């Protein structure tokens, strides 16, 4: 999750953990004020009260820094057990929407995703520190729904994995598209409508498995 943890040796002066936190916070502040393209590492260093060289010793460049800074915003994501699959979906959607309502997330996330289209290592970093953490919510919610009997217990592991991937892309994609492209609020009404369509689609497809879903 951190820069790269270069096998911390027992000797020598240790790296300042406070500097890491200050740099990531300064990065988010700069994202709010300047956006992605105008954000500069020299400015981040000044905001954090840190020399520019220190920043380059910990992160390879702008991309990796912003990924780590944005990833911390998703730490608060939890799966709320509200008793029903519908309530759980709606809760996750609203949590995700609340994060995307913050300007530092809006400005930073798309920027790193744009660069990840050409950078395999960056894409893997995003997957590990942001995407996989989100996908686990879908896995957990699905497991709980199966325990409640709202969904059939388990299928072929391969089709189950594809179903999780599909639901994840639908939920996360819809929220991101709503917030960042359509630029309209993902409020409770909208989350309810999304949940209704999604739930009918999932349970209906599960009850009528004429194919793989």
* Shortest separation between residue 177's beta carbon and DNA, angstroms: 28
Torsion of CA 172, 87, 144, 169, to 10 degrees: -10
Instruction: Tell me the chain's radius of gyration from C-alpha atoms.
Output: 20
Residue 20, SS3? helix
Nearer to a second copy, 45 or 105 (CB): 105
**29 is a site residue for DNA (CB under 7 A):** no
Q: Is position 10 an interface residue for DNA (rule: CB under 7 A)?
A: yes
> What is d(CA 104, CA 72) in angstroms, rounded to the nearest whole number?
11
State the Cα torsion 153-157-162-165 to the nearest 10°.
70
What count of residues does the chain have?
213
Q: Does 19 bind DNA (CB under 7 A)?
A: yes
Taking the C-alpha atoms of residue 123 and residue 143, their distance in angstroms, rounded to an integer, is 28
Options 6-14, 77-85, 181-189, 203-211: segment touching DNA (CB under 7 A) = 6-14
Query: Quick one: which of 1, 2, 4, 61 contacts DNA (CB under 7 A)?
Result: 61
* Interacting residue ranges for a second copy, rule: CB under 8 A: 35-37, 62, 103, 106-107, 109-111, 113-119, 123, 126, 131, 162-163, 165-170, 172-178, 180-184, 189-190, 192-194, 196-202, 204-205, 208, 211-213
**Contacts with DNA, residue ranges (CB under 7 A):** 6, 9-16, 19, 40-43, 49-54, 56-58, 61-62
């Amino acid at each position: 999750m951190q820069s790269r943890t270069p096998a911390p040796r027992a000797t020598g002066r240790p790296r300042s953990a406070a500097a890491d936190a200050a740099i990531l916070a300064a990065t988010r502040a700069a994202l709010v004020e300047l956006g992605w393209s105008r954000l500069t590492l020299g400015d981040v260093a000044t905001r954090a009260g840190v020399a520019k060289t220190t920043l380059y010793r910990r992160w390879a460049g702008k991309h990796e820094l912003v990924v780590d800074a944005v990833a911390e915003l998703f730490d608060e994501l939890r799966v709320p057990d509200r008793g029903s699959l519908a309530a759980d979906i709606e809760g996750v959607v609203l949590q995700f929407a609340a994060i995307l309502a913050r300007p530092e997330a809006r400005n930073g996330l798309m920027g790193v995703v744009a660069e990840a289209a050409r950078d395999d290592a960056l894409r893997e970093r995003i997957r590990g520190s942001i995407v996989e953490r989100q996908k686990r919510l879908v896995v957990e919610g699905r497991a709980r729904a199966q325990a409640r009997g709202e969904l059939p217990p388990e299928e072929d592991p391969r089709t189950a994995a594809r179903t999780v991937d599909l639901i994840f892309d639908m939920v996360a994609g819809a929220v991101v598209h709503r917030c960042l492209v359509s630029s309209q609020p993902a409020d409770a009404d909208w989350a309810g409508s999304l949940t209704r369509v999604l739930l009918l689609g999932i349970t209906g497809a599960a009850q009528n498995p004429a194919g793989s879903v």
